[in-house]
Structure 1
């Protein structure tokens, strides 16, 4: 009789998940609250530690991104072309502004005090959330992009915008009139995710072709010599490689290591400085669509949500897992220097 194996340790599954397509999830900078956007037209607020749904907001279309303002309010980007602001305690919600096409990305800049949105209408827009709702005076500026915006990330005063066509624009949010840098992704295929390093020195890009590129803002020869790309989320069987899109990147706030999530259902943790994989978690039910570490790095939220990379096929239901993070999984291992001969 064969032994019964214990189930894989995937973390605690949150109750009341979205019913269709998790597009992003983010921990608050102030608590263990977790904000989740989804194709089922909802933004949901969870207390991840207590495993409770604290609030739910309905939209007119799929919600493609969300972010916190603070622990009392947040913002969302929707396929119905709107940017919305909502207040958790009161349930109040209003439209901050609109794009001419689905809004793919939303970030809040604490330095500029502005909401920044990126759309498939090939623009970035900056909004002042303190202005009157629904009126143009909340719009600070509109900035054309070379293609549809796919992903954005902000660190300090730097905003990185990744678009279709493998374009990457780097802005200083204090002067959005022109990008500081215009780049092309060093990866050959479509960008899925961009995330800035917590120390502000650069950013990581992932693609549909199972690769991640580590980039640096410093344009000197020495700075650019540090950049590199590596393969991940691939499987070899019978001499044949299967390559999976890398949908999500999340940096650990303390150690600067990072997690990647792919359509293979795996979450890997990497030490970018030493170019090593530190850990691989047990496989999740389906594609990993989003990842987020809590503010202190104790928790990792994982969205297990089919991303339709193989079209309309039967798939596991969407789920959000919150796992406790052990130091051994995310802390860089010290380099062992060779013992000098006697």
Structure 2
């Protein structure tokens, strides 16, 4: 494992949100970065050029955001709305509504739909190509066992993580019922779910400093591969401190992944070999969100206090964009020993 000197590192973007950063996302087409915040804004940056390109608004906290393409994006808010933003013109419109704050939003290129999850215990799918207005764009409403906390997409698969540690897995081609209904293997509240880029499973994090690696394959051999591990913990003066794991982001090239916690630390993991590859030194605040750029060369880090210690003085919220070195994210090759030599060595012992 290697570590950086000084603060976690990277270029700090200008004009950051004035309140908590709820999420940030890189575009799949460029180095544009979309940022949602509790200050009721959605900000669009050019991360490589370090420029704020646009600002859009809700009437309450914005809880999530995602790109449609490089010309537009979507956001989800505590004002119960799902909104579309056209970057070139500044045009905004309400795509639809829920009956409670909308916690999650994703755009599925496979289905051509916007998918939202809400604290009203529903998942909704919207057609953004239709005329504006809820009745014209709503494709379907799917009831969940509890409030939706996090959703993730890979291909035609959708993973929905809710309160009560429920996990529903859908096939977007048939949303009539979940393909699988599961319970999180972690004992405490889910914070984040993200799918493996290769489409074989998902990673799930909790408030209790753990990450679970799960697989879609329900066979005995498929389920035998799943595991969970502890992270974002420390011991000081004989006391153990455990921090929520707020964010997970997979590297698009290597399939390794980063985690960010309330300890202000970003770790990079090789899930296949069950090893930590890298740890950046501490950022000023909790890590509330992470995102790799489309080519994996940039990592955006939201350093944003998440009120885990209550309303206490804290550093201003910041967005850092760091250049990613291959050594930080590329899995290290396994060192295979000669079986005959290994047997002789054991015999000598």
Measured against the shorter chain, the TM-score band is over 0.9
SS of alignment partner, residue 110 of structure 2:
coil
SS at match of 1:188: coil
- Number of residue pairs the alignment of both structures matches: 337
> Which digits, 9 at most, give the CA deviation of each residue in 1:59-96, with x for residues without a partner?
11100000000000000000000000010000000000
Instruction: Name the residue aligned to 1:69.
Output: 68
TM-score (normalizing by structure 1)? 0.97
Q: CA-atom RMSD, angstroms?
A: 1.0
Give the aligned partner of residue 193 of structure 1.
192
Query: Which residue of structure 1 aligns with residue 347 of structure 2?
Result: none
Deviation of 1:132 (Å): 1.1
Where do residues 154-173 of structure 1 align in structure 2 (5 Å cutoff)?
Answer: 154-173=153-172
In structure 1, the residue matched to 2:79 is 80
1:51-62 alignment, distance < 5 Å: 51-62=50-61
**Larger deviation, residues 233-242 vs 203-212:** 233-242
Tell me the distance in 2 between the aligned counterparts of 1:311 and 1:212: 24
Over residues 115-172 of structure 1, what are the superposed CA-to-partner deviations in whole Å (9 max), with x where a residue is unaligned? 0000000000000001111240200000000000000000000000000000000000
2:241 corresponds to 1:242 = yes
Alignment partner of 1:16 is 2:15:
yes
The 3-state SS of whatever aligns with 1:80 is coil
Distance 2:184 2:134 in 1: 36
- Residue aligning to 2:333: 334
Shift of 1:9: 5.1
Deviation per CA, 1:12-67: give whole Å up to 9, x if none. Answer: 00001111000000000000000000000000000000000010001111000000
| Structure 2 Cα separation of the partners of residues 295 and 8 of structure 1 | 25
Q: Which residue of 2 aligns with 1:180?
A: 179
Matching residue of 1:112? 111
Provide, for residues 163-208 of structure 1, a one-character-per-residue CA deviation record: whole Å limited to 9, x for no partner.
Answer: 0000000000111110000000000000000000000000000000
Q: Give the secondary-structure state (helix, strand or coil) at the position aligned to 2:312.
A: coil
Displacement of 1:238 after TM fit?
2.7
> 8 Å contact 2:8–2:265 — kept in the other structure?
no
Q: Greater relative contact order (Cα 8 A, min sep 6): structure 1 or 2?
A: 2
**1:297-308 alignment to 2 at 5 Å?**
297-308=296-307
Mapping for residues 123-162 of structure 1, pairs under 5 Å: 123-162=122-161
Unpaired runs of at least 5, structure 1: 1-5
Say if 2:73 and 2:84, in contact at 8 Å, map to a contact too: yes
Instruction: List aligned pairs for 1:17-36, cutoff 5 A.
Output: 17-36=16-35
User: Taking structure 2 as the reference length, what is the TM-score of the superposition?
Assistant: 0.95
